[in-house]
Amino acid sequence: MSTRPTSIGGSLVIVTDFEAEAKRILAGTSAFDVLLVDPMTVTPDLVRARYNDIKRALITRESIGNTLVARAKGVLDGAFASLSDTALIARARDAHAKVMTARREEAEVLESIRTTTLLLESRAAALRVARDTRGDESSDLPLVVPSTDDTPQ
């Protein structure tokens, strides 16, 4: 068993490789992530080989009774079951593609929101400067918020 020191909450804790592997498995967002396989090139034979390699790293004499490892083993078994044959791989690949498309679209929307926010912030700053240079401390100068059609092209 190899270990490495890490700091959690200011105290030194020894983290074993099987615990790190268990955390990686539990953090996986898809069966492809859990088994460390590429969705486009995966085959049932590769899935079986990766499953066995990861299981060997996860299940050791020292890991028996570790609840984190037990949960990760369940996730690993589920990932293996969901990618165990060609039809299941095709179904999982389609689902993975939909998730990735949704993430891309979400990132595009967030980038658009960031751009609009920066534009509005710069307009507000310009209006504040204009108000301050006039020497007028009253808030007579309104902050104009553009309509949705007034976004940058």
Phi, psi of 14 (to 5 degrees): -90, 125
Question: What mean pLDDT, rounded, does the chain reach?
Answer: 82
Q: Is the pLDDT of residue 84 over 60?
A: yes
Helix (H) or strand (E) holding 13: strand 11-16
- Dmax over CA atoms of the chain, in Å, equals 77
Q: Is the pLDDT of residue 9 over 50?
A: no
Cα 43 to Cα 51, 80, 141, distances in angstroms: 12, 12, 65
- pLDDT at residue 137, as a whole number: 57
Report pTM: 0.61
- What is the C-alpha separation between 91 and 48, in angstroms, rounded? 18
Give the residue with greater pLDDT, 147 vs 64.
Answer: 64
- pLDDT at residue 142, as a whole number: 57
- pLDDT at residue 5, as a whole number: 41
Give the residue with greater pLDDT, 132 vs 140.
Answer: 132
Q: What is the mean pLDDT of residues 52-60?
A: 87
- What is the C-alpha separation between 52 and 58, in angstroms, rounded? 10
Phi, psi of 150 (to 5 degrees): -95, 30
